[in-house]
Amino acid sequence: MEQERERIIIPDENGDEHLFEELFKFSVDETGKSYILLVPVGDDEEDDEDGVEVLAFRYEDEEGEDSDITLHTIETEEEWDMVEEMLNTFEEEQDEE
């Protein structure tokens, strides 16, 4: 049975809101930073052999269960490399299931 994933609405530069679903979150103990990977909700037609677009952000989580999170763009090559490595590991684990 698949668990319910968190959904997040992100506005684009035009103010249009887009719904995304959490793929997974992870934290890096050495830096104290947390990251979230998201996939768009509702575009099943795009789930073909080209794959699904995955967005990655660094985030800060306010205390409390129903609190908002603040998303930040990932700016360094080192962060992108780490996120890509985590995504590859996640995909490998999913393929094994």
| Rounded average pLDDT over 39-58 | 74
Examine the pLDDT at 38 and tell me if it is beyond 70: yes
Tens digit of each residue's pLDDT (9 = 90 or more) over 57-91: 999 877 655 667 889 999 999 999 999 999 999 98
Whole-angstrom Cα distance, residue 93 to residue 75?
Answer: 27
What local confidence, expressed as pLDDT, does residue 78 receive? 94
Please state, in angstroms and rounded to a whole number, the distance separating the CA atoms of residues 1 and 24.
17
CB 72 within 8 A of CB 82: no
Per domain, the residue ranges of the chain are 7-96
State residue 1's pLDDT score. Answer: 45
pLDDT confidence of residue 67? 65
